[in-house]
A and B are shown apart, each in its own frame.
Chain A
């Protein structure tokens, strides 16, 4: 077999090679050698990005499942499978990231036997574990279809309503609980980011990012896999994103206002610069863009606005996890290159696995078999049922 070398393949192999080297340092030299974490900065890039951002970026799964199966918005049906795939891979990679960050990852199963129900971390851990299992079942029909196994699909279709409700319940709990983690640090986290409303913000931002990520990944995979881009779907998502961004922005403003921070926010300071960056990327730029009908109806404009929103909320989470502690600690934390390298390796693995799944599984069904031959998911059956009505109407 001859492997054709493209630019991105070379980049991928370089990232992987460096990542494997860093992994070696991590497991054979320890956390101190691989990272710039310290007693002053016990949580670094891996918690800030791999965990806080990783789970947020995987929120598209529960957002789209909620929209299509819970609210029965059938027009969005074509994006459910890629969104569930992204979520499933996202959570798997989150767990991989955790295996790097935990000091004793080989004891991760202790959560199951030494349970501490007062711990937010325990709740997040349990939710993530069960939700990853739920995502596995939501993802399974892809594999069954590929293998043409009909009876397991029927079986999964039967439990689908339970999977949907359970998945959204667990997502609500752990997306918000990631914010609750920081509630116990009122004297450490900078007041720009410490607020009793953190759990609400984490959930609200996860919904916005879920929508933005779905636009991002639909556009990206259309480009990469030569798929036809469904503009009406993107436009619907873009409209929802605009609403979600407004809700987030108003909640944030309300919170700053109530805590009397408005004056402090506009006064230049180290933290203020990062807050401005975050607010500009997450709110000002994408909201302004999406307010123009011309941009809201163009694939390029929607794509760009989503990228800004995603970057904005990533900045938000990194501010909470890293920048917000620097004044308390009294010095800066800059991740070591090996920390970046592990994070990049995990992201690259995510892209590669997504590509493989799309290649071998009916993630984007129209690319594989004609629609008629496929076994249908519940919502599709729902829309099929509606079809004869229209057909009869013409008689």
Chain B
């Protein structure tokens, strides 16, 4: 079954232990300087932001139909059956189409490297396959980041909102956005205030469909267009052949006279 992460901003105390655990899991440097950075980067896959004593976490949303996987010319990204969207660095050619295509702007790049990689949260696929929660969910002291079955977490998010409607906005960010994701956010403030793209703007259509509508026509287009082009060539050159044959005929007539 597909796994997911539920982040409940109302339970978050901003301790940033998830950031540290993520760095450790992915063998990235983590110290006070990195902790103070408030934007994601090639060395910081997740970030806890604060605003008016409230917190919001940002990480890859692990879309059900990920744009990054659909645009990659060499298929370096793919959605695993367990839920994580993972990256095969050895395939990557560095075109960065994933970065421009992602609506959540999650893939980041090692701009200073001579053999750069795309970096993003990959939802600890090794741990997930082994049946363990992600590093960030395991360490979270308040349960603000919770790991579990996708369907269970959706129900739990709905229950929490239903039981405590005054504590939450009535929305689960990630449930329908771009066709649904594997990270859900419930909060008492709109996620857009923390830099997430607005639901209305990104819509519920899975991103791969935008290019898929054109790409799926190509197999039909190729034979039809080849025939049209070949036909034009045949017709326009047929005139020459006819003219030549007529000239030939005329020549023979002329010589027989």
Q: Which A residues have a C-beta under 8 Å from some C-beta of B? A: 27-33, 37-40, 42-43, 69-72, 101-105, 107-108, 110-111, 114-123, 125, 161, 164-165, 168-169, 172-173, 177, 180-181, 183-188, 199, 382, 385-386, 388-389, 392, 395
Contacts and interface: CB of A to CB of B under 8 A. Distances in A.
Given A104-B92, A121-B95, A33 B210 contact: no
A382 B238 CA distance: 11
A27 B202 CA distance: 37
Nearest to B221: A173
A71 B236 contact: yes
A330 B243 CA distance: 65
12 contacts: A31-B116, A39-B40, A39-B99, A39-B111, A40-B105, A71-B232, A104-B93, A107-B94, A110-B74, A119-B72, A382-B237, A385-B243
A187 B204 CA distance: 12
B113 interface: yes
A42 B237 contact: no
A120 B215 contact: yes
B109 A102 contact: no
A10 B191 CA distance: 57
A110 B91 contact: yes
Interface string B192-225: 0000010001110001101111110010011001
Given A37-B111, A38-B111, 11 more contacts: A33-B112, A72-B236, A104-B115, A104-B116, A107-B92, A108-B93, A116-B70, A116-B73, A121-B71, A180-B214, A187-B103
Contact of A186 (B73, B210, B215, B246): B210
Contacts of B215: 117-118, 120, 123, 180
What are the 9 closest A-B residue pairs judged by CB atoms, nearest first?
A103-B94, A32-B111, A72-B236, A42-B99, A116-B75, A122-B73, A114-B74, A121-B73, A104-B94
A30 B112 contact: yes
A88 to B, nearest CB: 20
Contacts of B103: 187-188
A354 B114 CA distance: 33
B242 to A, nearest CB: 11
Provide the main secondary structure of the chain B interface. Answer: helix
Contacts of A183: 210-211, 213-214
Interface in B54-104: 67, 70-76, 91-97, 99-101, 103
Interface in B210-257: 210-215, 218, 221-222, 225-226, 229-230, 232-233, 236-237, 239-240, 243-244, 246-247, 250-251, 254
A161 B109 CA distance: 45
A65 to B, nearest CB: 11
Contacts of A39: 40-42, 99, 105, 108-109, 111
Interface residues of B, number: 63
Q: Which of A70, A118, A164, A186 has the most CB atoms of chain B within a 10 A radius of its CB?
A: A118
Interface of B: 40-42, 67, 70-76, 91-97, 99-101, 103, 105, 108-109, 111-116, 197, 201-203, 207-208, 210-215, 218, 221-222, 225-226, 229-230, 232-233, 236-237, 239-240, 243-244, 246-247, 250-251, 254
Contacts of B71: 119-121, 184
Contact of A185 (B74, B101, B222, B251): B101
A385 B214 contact: no
B100 A185 contact: yes
Nearest to B237: A72
Given A28-B114, A72-B240, A110-B74, A392 B250 contact: yes
Contact of B93 (A102, A115, A120): A102
B240 A386 contact: yes
A222 B170 CA distance: 70
Nearest to B91: A114
Contacts of A188: 100, 103
A395 B253 CA distance: 13
B85 to A, nearest CB: 14
B100 A42 contact: yes
Nearest to B113: A30
A118 B77 CA distance: 12
Contacts of A119: 70-73, 75, 97
Nearest to A162: B230
Contact of B240 (A38, A103, A185, A385): A385
Contacts of B233: 69-70, 161, 164-165
Contacts of B213: 183
Q: Which of B74, B201, B221, B243 has the most CB atoms of chain A within a 10 A radius of its CB?
A: B74
Contacts of A123: 215, 218
B202 A187 contact: yes
B111 A30 contact: yes
Nearest to B216: A118
A168 B226 CA distance: 9
A168 B229 contact: yes
B101 to A, nearest CB: 5
Nearest to A125: B73
Contacts of B246: 389
A43 B96 contact: yes
Nearest to B246: A389
A184 B210 contact: yes
Nearest to B233: A70
B72 A116 contact: yes
A122 B75 CA distance: 9
Nearest to A27: B114
Q: Which of B72, B97, B197, B212 has the most CB atoms of chain A within a 10 A radius of its CB?
A: B97
A382 B241 CA distance: 8
A271 to B, nearest CB: 17
A173 B95 CA distance: 20
Given A114-B75, A114-B91, A187 B113 contact: no
